[in-house]
Amino acid sequence: MNFPEEGVQQAEKALEIFERRSDPANQARCLIYLAYVFRDDKRLGAAEDAASHAIDLLPRKGEQFLVCQGHHILGDIYRSKGVTEKAIHHYEVALEIASNFDWHIPLFWTHFSLAQLFFEDGRLNDAQTHIERAKSHTVNNPYNSARASLLQARLWYGQHMFEEVKSEALRALGVFEKLGATEDAEETRKFLGRMDPVLVTPMNWLTMVSS
């Protein structure tokens, strides 16, 4: 993912091979990978085409995890395009599939994405509902739990619940630091710094997290 053009070329070569072999599942895997790369590169039209083609290739049964991935990335793409209702539809399809198999990681990230969408749309009650549902699927995954805590802090910040914001964001920062998730930790420090630069000094956040 650090070299998107190289990744695209490799995935397209693999896609050609799987097309010649009439292997739709692996074709779909390549297309979903391409959809993620194109999304991250802001090439949303190409991302939508890749994800839609992947879903069309897959059977209704037997490859549900790939179908779930395809609908989730389409939700991300339509969210980026500002096509809210289509984004919600694809996220809900992904949730339905993941719920049938009790797949906690897809359930976490899809609820997380819906929470982000509703937060950006100003639908704070809906955002809160999906944050809580996302948290219920962290299943001892500290990174996911910290991501949910940071999103919760952002939501509370918009509601002027500043003491709760500090506690939740500092908890997330402590986890990111412990895990060595440097980009996430820096994102959290910047968020806290907008509230009060003193909060991001190591001694202060360690004291607050442990209190």
pLDDT for residue 59: 84
**Structure-block tokens of residue 153:** 């802090």
Distances (CA, A) of 151 to 10, 144, 201, 207: 35, 11, 21, 22
* Residue 177 belongs to a domain: no
Q: What is the DSSP letter of 161?
A: -
pLDDT for residue 196: 64
* Residue 78 belongs to a domain: yes
> What is the C-alpha separation between 105 and 28, in angstroms, rounded?
20
The domain in which residue 47 lies consists of: 1-101
Query: What is the number of domains present in the chain?
Result: 1
pLDDT in tens, the chain (211 residues): 455 677 778 888 888 888 788 888 999 999 999 999 999 989 999 999 999 999 999 987 789 999 999 999 999 999 999 999 999 999 999 999 999 999 999 999 999 999 999 999 999 999 999 999 999 999 899 999 999 999 999 999 989 898 899 999 999 999 999 999 999 999 999 999 887 654 544 434 333 333 3
Distances (CA, A) of 114 to 8, 63, 67, 88, 121: 28, 23, 18, 7, 10
> What is the C-alpha separation between 112 and 127, in angstroms, rounded?
9
* Residue 12 belongs to a domain: yes
> What is the C-alpha separation between 3 and 20, in angstroms, rounded?
26
Tell me the per-residue pLDDT of 27-63, one tens digit each, with 9 for 90 and over. Answer: 999 999 999 999 998 999 999 999 999 999 998 778 9
69, 74, 79, 85 alpha-carbon torsion, rounded to 10°: -110
* Residue 143 belongs to a domain: no
**φ, ψ (nearest 5 deg) of residue 159:** -105, 10
* Residue 203 belongs to a domain: no
* Residue 110 belongs to a domain: no
- Residue 165: partners with Cβ closer than 8 Å, 6 or more residues away: 153, 156, 157, 195
Domain with 73 in it: what CATH number? 1.25.40.10
Contact 35, 50 (CB under 8 A): yes
* Residue 68 belongs to a domain: yes
Of 75, 71, 95, 97, which Cα lies nearest the Cα of 84?
Answer: 75
Tell me the per-residue pLDDT of 116-134, one tens digit each, with 9 for 90 and over. Answer: 999 999 999 999 999 999 9
* Residue 108 belongs to a domain: no
